[in-house]
Amino acid sequence: MRVLVVDDESSNLAFLSAVLRAAGYDTELAQNGDDALDKTGPFDLLLTDVMMPRMRGDALASKMRERDPQLPVLYVTAYSDHLFSSRFVLSEGEAFLEKPVTPDALLEGVEMVLYGRLAKAVWG
């Protein structure tokens, strides 16, 4: 499974990528929405922060879904109130995790968005 991971904070990007790679996911990294849009897909999942300079994660998800309407999206954010400030519900195939996130919670969130269930063992 190929995951596009987007976060403007290098330490968060490194953590998210390390957890996903240890669980067997192939990750492509971007530090902002513009970088993410330049990445070559296809991707099985977009994992993105919400509050980033120049382009919010939900705007990025909208643009990515123009290319691939079925692309699952997992938001990882410390600002869930900003995610819902202009939206009342998440779209189908979207979920969010509140930062800080543990490795187990991250992998559980990814599994739930991708498969609708826990499909494999989590971090351990």
Distances (CA, A) of 22 to 5, 7, 25, 57, 70: 14, 19, 7, 24, 26
- For 51-85, the pLDDT digits (tens) are 899 898 989 999 999 999 999 999 998 866 655 56
**87 has pLDDT over 60:** no
Q: What pTM value is reported for the model?
A: 0.88
Mapped onto helix, strand or coil, the DSSP state of residue 74 is: strand
CATH of the domain spanning 2-115: 3.40.50.2300
Residue pair 26/58 in contact (Cβ under 8 Å)? The answer is no
Q: How many other C-beta atoms lie within 10 A of the C-beta of residue 105?
A: 16
- For 106-121, the pLDDT digits (tens) are 999 999 999 886 555 4
Sign of the alpha-carbon torsion through 59, 60, 66, 70: negative
* Residue among 103, 86, 107 nearest 95 (CA): 107
- How would residue 123 be classed by pLDDT, with cut points 50, 70 and 90? very low
* Residue among 9, 2, 4 nearest 101 (CA): 9
Q: What is the mean pLDDT of residues 31-51?
A: 95
Q: What is the mean pLDDT of residues 39-49?
A: 95
Q: Which amino acid makes up residue 119?
A: A
Residue boundaries of the structural domains of the chain = 2-115
CA 66 to chain centre: 16
